Every structure is written in structure tokens, then in C-alpha cells.
Amino acid sequence: MNLTVQTDYAFRVLMFLAARAPEAATIQEMSNHYGVSRGHLMVLVHRLASLGMLATTRGRRGGVRLALPASEIRLGEVIRTTEPDFDLAECFSEESDRCLISEPCKLRGILNEALSAWFDALNRYTVEDLVKRNPPLVRLLRAGRPAENA
């Protein structure tokens, strides 16, 4: 299973903001820091804000900050909200399932059990766990763009 770029960037944004909390940051700052598209981050920030994970403020002193404490943002929930689907096999989607053995096959149930265990493991951790007691990461995220510091 591969996570989408959307999920990767979601984690980057959340870690960036957690490392700088309670300060706000701009989308441009995050774009510059990570060297990723500002437009892509704008769409992602809007989505995370609509889900209640981020708070945005417009204007000259505006920016983005965590809407919840980092300790309340579970990693599994971030993935659930940013990934398009979790159809691990054709039989997971009723619309596209053409498998002749779907009905008696036990694979879907086993894969569902594994997927549930995966989310259970991820939900034991929060965004805070990614940055807490990680001074090298916090220093890197609070500094300018890594390439600018070299």
C-alpha cells in the first residue's frame, strides 16, 4: 500500500505547525520550506481546515495553525481523511468488483481485519508523537528552508 502525496504533505504541514505551535505559519512559508507547490498546499490546508484539524486566518497577520492540540490529532485519522479509498483488492468495491469468487472468498475479510489493525496501530500515535522529544526535527522545522541553511 502506498500513501498518496496528499497524505505525505498533510503530515508535513501538521508537523510543521506542531513544531511552531502556538505560532501561525503561512502557506508560502511551508511551500518554501518543503519546496512543494503553494497551490497544492492551499487545497490541502483548506481540506484539513474543513475537517477541523487546522484553523486559518486571512489578512496581513493571517496564517495557519493547528485547530486542535497536536496530542489530539491521530495519525490514522489523518490518513483516513486524506486517502481517496482503501480498496485493497477489486472485491472491496461493489461498483467495480468483477471477481468470480468474491462471494465465497475469505480474503476480503482477512484484508479488512489487517486494515483495521493497521488503523488501530496508527491511531495509538498523534502528531505530537512525531515532534515531541525530537529536537533535531523541531530545529529543522522552526528554521528557514533546509536548503537555505546549508
pLDDT in tens, 34-61: 999 999 999 999 999 999 999 999 988 8
| This prediction's pTM | 0.86
| Measured distance CA(92)–CA(138) in Å, rounded | 40
The CATH number for 17's domain is: 1.10.10.10
| Measured distance CA(80)–CA(32) in Å, rounded | 27
Supply 116's cell numbers: 483495521
Per the structure, how many domains does the chain have? 1
Domain containing 43 equals 5-84+127-149
Within-domain flag for 74 = yes
pLDDT in tens, 92-107: 777 888 888 888 888 8
Within-domain flag for 12 = yes
Place of cell 492551499: 42
Within-domain flag for 20 = yes
Within-domain flag for 114 = no
